[in-house]
Amino acid sequence: MESLNNNNQNRQPKRAISDFAEFLGISMQAVHKQLKNKNITCEKMGNKTYLTFDSSRKLFNFNFKQKKIAVQIVKGGTGKTTTINNIANCANTYGARVLLIDADPQGNLTDANGIDAEQYPVLIDLLKSDATIQQSIVNVSEGLDIIPSRIENVILDNEIVNGRYPLDKLYKNLLGSIEHNYDFICIDCPPTMGQAVTAASLYADTILAPLNPDKFSAKGLKILKQEIDTLNKRFNKKIEYKVFLNKFSGKTILSDKAIMTLISDPELEGKVLSTTVQFAQEIPNITDENKSAFSHLKKSLVRDDFDRLTRELLDISLDLIIKEAKSKNTEDDAILA
């Protein structure tokens, strides 16, 4: 596994103590007390103390239920890459080990993490056995890795067909030896419905579909639902999908209509996440800097949205903390004590 040590510190996802105090429903002093009791040393930026992957992992000691998420919809520009990148970074701030997989030949997720994909093997190289899975994994920051992508992945579909790879076992065969190293595996898919996307869908526990408040996104969602129904029948699966409204603006009628459409569609009952992510100029700005909303400590409504989305999607909650404390039967160690 390759490492980007020179840039890791700037890119390392981080959260202020105040964020976690709000999440836990306790005072900042109580969080500091827990940190002291557990001999956890935190870093400082100005007058703000913050936690990163290592300190959060020690503090929360979550036993995450492993999940594999594929983000996709047949519509470009819905925010798939930004969404999965921020979900991964957010989960990392709770102490989760996360693997990002860039399956899009455009390589936007790779670029967003400041990686030159020409230096590393990508999925097509793995499929052709020109590299090992270990060689393809690049360390972005502590607890956060990525398998990058470049334009050569455009022939993935052809290679899968010509090689007669079983779609329902493709990703499992590629990742089986390393998937136990991660709490969450997140795949960024291209806006198509080819063989590679089908393989990712069959591997994932959940397909996440960002829906913009426009009619073209609604059409993309309709195609996605039809494809999932087809795959479920063909492979005898029960693929789960979740939808959320992205690039939401309370100032537009289109956003209101999109919400009403989601709420009123009986086929989407139980599929719509309650969290919406608002439109903000901050998103393209941080993307241009090859960072995420969790690379800084400034106040950010977008970061708050992605935090809520991540916790809802990945089941990161106070209940998980309480459950962990009870299972260990160590009340003195419980973070809420």
Task: Kindly report, residue by residue over 304-319, the tens digit of the pLDDT.
Answer: 999 999 999 999 987 7
Cα–Cα–Cα angle for 260, 186, 196, rounded to 5 degrees: 95
Strands 15-16 and 48-51: antiparallel
Q: How many CA atoms lie within 13 A of 210 on its CB side?
A: 27
Give the confidence band of 267 by pLDDT, cuts at 50, 70, 90: confident
- Alpha carbons 253 and 246: distance in angstroms, whole number: 15
Q: In 3-state terms, the chain is what percent helix, strand and coil (to 5)?
A: 50, 15, 35
- Give percent above pLDDT 70 in the chain: 86
Query: What tokens were used for 132?
Result: 């090992």
CA torsion sign for 120, 126, 132, 133 is positive
Task: Kindly report, residue by residue over 68-119, the tens digit of the pLDDT.
Answer: 999 998 877 888 999 999 999 999 999 999 999 999 999 999 999 999 999 9
Query: What tokens were used for 176?
Result: 């089986």
Contact predicate 200/104, CB 8 Å: no
Give the confidence band of 246 by pLDDT, cuts at 50, 70, 90: confident
More confident residue, 188 or 217: 188
Go through the domains of the chain in sequence order and give each one's CATH number: 2-11+63-316 (3.40.50.300)
Give the contacts of 54 (CB within 8 A, at least 6 positions apart): 95, 142, 143
pLDDT at 326: 62
pTM (global) more than 0.85: yes
Phi first, then psi: give them for residue 235, nearest 5 degrees: -110, 5
- Alpha carbons 316 and 163: distance in angstroms, whole number: 40
More confident residue, 337 or 186: 186
pLDDT at 18 over 80: yes
How far is CA 292 from its chain centroid?
12
Mean of per-residue pLDDT scores for the chain: 87
pLDDT at 145 over 80: yes
DSSP class of 272: B
Phi-psi region of 281 (alpha: psi -120 to 50; beta: other; left: phi over 0): alpha
